[in-house]
Amino acid sequence: MWLLFSGGGMVAALVLPALLILLGVVVPLGLLGAPDHAHLLAVLRFPLTRLTLLAVCFLCLVHAAHRFRYTLQDGLKLTRFDGAIATVCYSAALLGSAAAAYLLFVSL
Amino acid sequence: MPEEITLQVARYRPEQEDRPTFDEYKVPLRKDWAVLDGLNYIKDELDGTLSYRWSCRMGICGSCGARVNGEPKLTCGTFLTDYAPGPVRIEPLANFPIIRDLVVDLTDFLVKLGAVQPWLIRDEDKPVEEGEYLQTPAELDEYKQFSMCINCMLCYSACPVYGLDDKFLGPAAIALAQRYNLDSRDEGADRRLTVLSQPEGVWGCTFVGECSRACPKGVDPAGAIQRYKLTAATAAVKKLLMPWGQR
Amino acid sequence: MTTQRLYKPRISVLWWLSRRSYTLFVLRELSSLFVGWAVVYLLLLIRAVAGGPVAYQRFLHWSASPWAIVLNVVTAAFLLYHTVTFINLTPQAMVVQVRGRRVPPRLLLGPLYLAWLVVSAVLVWLVVG
């Protein structure tokens, strides 16, 4: 579990800032023209992109779930509900990963 | 007339009060006086009922730890002039039950310290005639910083995880386990693994990092714990892949 | 012998406000929420791209709405905080040996930040094309 957490943390650290700042801040603010739809589709349909993105989503979500589980417990003194909190957090991460798999390998 | 500084010292007298209160004392502010000298002045000259632990006055015995203005410190190595003009607030170490004034109950820490078996473990002792166990300087460097721990428990006072859940094994005990795990003469890593890899062992730690900042001896318990997480995780994966393997 | 009457201090629910370093720690841990949101946002974008040019335009329009931008700016700040704290703590948690000698922890930071720059550059190039 911890290997997934720290691996995910590293992936999130390296990958997410660039993507989110570009696609969530720079492009919506109009500082840079939105990428062409056909170009994005081509990049996303490349098999290696799909696999990498799925791995990135899975690792980041597991990382987030694991960390948030302990944040809730320590920050709000909820250690006695650990079982329930852990179940909810990890289920959410798995659901998100399943959605990512569906989007990347079925929808696209 | 020498300069003075006010010390606000936490008092807890179980026979007369339910919770700690503060008493104020004025002590001389001298350049060479540590907080501990201030406490000794109070005990000798102002109020003999004040209770606190101390012994060596030189940062080796690890018994004079207290919170000075909220920070866990060795009172013998913390100078009054750094807090001038004051007042200085002195409280017992956080996260431990208080017996009286600045004296806390060490039982929990001592039990945990014993649990990690902090001594050299050999499968089979070498006969004395064969001489000593040799070690290179590089092998010594592997664990040397962890052997500097003086069991002062400042790291436990700084650790919010231990404060929230005292089942957590805690920084110093894990660092000391690593001190022996990383020693080339030791063969007890497997025996310590069972204690350290429990949920209340290394996995309780969320890497706040305050223990390493609090340590007066430059030990890095936070680093030791994270490094051990890798060891424990690798061991778990190995066991999963090769359940028949011995080690 | 009298029985001891120990005083057991209790930690308040707001313990993480009591010291600056504790607050910074909890903020670091809270970055997990924003890591989660960043993934969800990217998945929404992928869904829009998969849905065709019209869906993609709708997504671009929605992502330019004020609250989406505010949320994403906050998210970006937390992601950067996550990256910096995570990279800075890595040498403390990992011992790297080269030719039997331990690499000084500080020397590990350079390659890590370089890797971040390279990965970011590749990603930007992939997206912008």
CATH code of B95's domain = 3.10.20.30
User: Closest partner residue to C72 among A20, A32, A96, by Cβ?
Assistant: A20
CB neighbourhood size of C12 (10 A): 9
DSSP state of B31: T
End-of-domain residue from the set B66, B87, B104: B104
B160 to chain C, any CB pair closer than 8 A? The answer is yes
Q: Which residues, given as ranges, of chain B have pLDDT below 50? A: 247
Structure tokens belonging to residue B24: 């104020």
Token pair in block for residue B61? 């015995």
| String of DSSP letters for A25-46 | IITTTTSSPPPPHHHHHHHHHS
Tally of structural domains, chain B: 2
Rounded distance, CA B228 to CA C68, Å?
Answer: 41
Nearest beta carbon to residue C129 from set A23, A35, A74: A35
Is B129 found in the same domain as B162?
A: yes
Count structural domains, chain C: 1
> How high is the pLDDT of residue C99?
75
Q: Work out the number of other CB atoms within 10 angstroms of the CB of residue C100.
A: 6
Angle between the N-to-C axes of helices C53-63 and C20-50, in degrees from 0 to 180, rounded to the nearest 10:
150
Q: Which of B104, B122, B150 is the last residue of a domain?
A: B104
- Kindly list the residues from chain C whose CB atom is less than 8 angstroms away from the CB atom of residue B229: 93
* C120 within domain boundaries: yes
Assess C99–B contact: CB distance below 8 Å, yes or no. Answer: no
Whether B186 and B133 have beta carbons less than 8 Å apart is answered as no
Asked whether residue B173 falls in the same domain as residue B218, the answer is yes
Inside any domain, residue B40: yes
Q: State which residues form the domain around B151.
A: 107-241
| Amino acid found at A7 | G
Chain position carrying tokens 């500082």: A31
Same domain flag for B235 and B129? yes
Specify whether B139 is located in the same domain as B211. yes
Residue contact A43–C119, C-beta within 8 A: no
| Chain C contacts in chain B segment 33-92 (CB below 8 A) | 70
Query: Which residues from A are below 8 Å from B160, CB to CB?
Result: 74
Determine which of B11, B68, B101, B207 to mutate to test the interface with C (most C C-beta atoms within 10 Å). B207
Q: Does B145 touch chain C (CB under 8 A)?
A: no
Q: Does residue B100 sit in the same domain as residue B144?
A: no
CATH class of segment(s) A2-107? mainly alpha
Closest approach of B127 to chain C, Cα-based (Å): 31
Smallest CA–CA distance from B232 into chain A, residue: A2
Per-residue pLDDT reduced to its tens digit, A15-67? 999 999 999 999 999 888 888 999 999 999 999 999 999 999 999 999 999 99
- Reported residue count of chain B is 247
Separation in Å, CA of C48 to nearest CA in chain B: 37
The SS3 of residue C114 is helix
Is B203 in Cβ contact with A3 (below 8 Å)? Answer: no
Interchain pair C6, B95: CB under 8 A: no
CA closest to C23 among chain A residues? A75
| Residues on chain A touching C47 (C-beta within 8 angstroms) | 103, 107
Chain B hits for C29, CB-CB cut-off 8 Å, are 206
Examine the domain organization and report whether B141 and B48 are in the same domain: no
Instruction: Report which DSSP code applies to B79.
Output: B
Nearest CA-CA distance, residue C28 and chain B, Å: 10
For position B246, what pLDDT does the model report? Answer: 53
Q: What is the DSSP string of C44-70?
A: HHHHHHHT-HHHHHHHHHHHTSHHHHH
Mutate to test the interface with C, among A4, A10, A19, A39 (most CBs of C within 10 A): A19
- Predicted confidence at residue C101, as pLDDT, reads 77
Q: Do residues B154 and B34 share a domain?
A: no
Q: How many CB atoms lie within 10 A of CB A61?
A: 28
Does B45 fall in a domain? yes
DSSP B84: T
ipTM for this model: 0.93
Give yes or no: residues B115 and B205 share one domain: yes
Residue among A70, A71, A76, A82 with most chain B CBs within 10 A, to mutate = A70
In a domain, C3, yes or no: no
pLDDT value, residue C105: 81
Dist. CA C109–CA C92, nearest whole Å: 10
Domain range for C60: 16-128
Interface size B-C, in CB pairs within 8 Å, comes to 67
Q: Does B133 touch chain C (CB under 8 A)?
A: no
pLDDT tens-digit map of C90-119: 998 888 877 777 788 888 899 999 999 999
Q: Is residue B151 part of a domain?
A: yes
**CA nearest neighbour of B197 among B205, B208, B187:** B205
**Does residue B247 form part of some domain?**
no
Question: Which chain C residues are within 8 Å of B138, Cβ to Cβ?
Answer: 100-101
**Nearest-CA distance from C80 to chain A in Å?**
6
Among B161, B165, B233, the residue with its CB nearest the CB of A2 is B233
Helix locations, chain B, DSSP H: 35-41, 107-115, 137-143, 154-158, 160-164, 171-181, 189-196, 210-214, 221-241
Residue B84 pLDDT? 87
- CB contact (8 A) between residue A71 and residue C30: yes
Residues pairing with B91 in the sheet: B67
| pLDDT(C9) > 90 | no
Say if C10 falls within a structural domain. Answer: no
Residue A31 corresponds to which amino acid? L
Of B104, B136, B169, the last residue of a domain is: B104
The total number of residues written for chain A in this structure: 108
**C66 Cβ partners below 8 Å, 6+ apart?**
none
First CA to last CA distance, chain C = 81
Mode of pairing for the β-strands spanning B65-68 and B4-11: unpaired
Q: List the subunits that have 3+ CB pairs under 8 angstroms with A.
A: B, C
Selected residue with higher pLDDT from B91 and A78: B91
Chain A residue with Cα closest to B228: A2
DSSP secondary structure letters along B176-231: HHHHHHT-TT---HHHHHHHHTSTTTGGG-----HHHHH-TT---HHHHHHHHHHH
Q: Which amino acid is at B57?
A: R
Residue pLDDT, tens place only, C53-91: 999 999 999 999 999 999 999 999 999 999 999 999 999
What local confidence, expressed as pLDDT, does residue B247 receive? 46
Q: Does B131 touch chain C (CB under 8 A)?
A: no
Chain C contacts of B160, Cβ < 8 Å?
11, 15-16, 22, 25
B10, B30 contact by CB (below 8 A)? no
CATH number, domain containing residue C116? 1.20.1300.10
Residue C1 lies in a domain: no
pLDDT, mean of residues A80-105: 94
Burial of B101 (0-12, 13-18, 19+ CB in 10 A): buried
Compute the distance between CA of residue A36 and CA of residue C123 in angstroms, rounded to an integer: 15
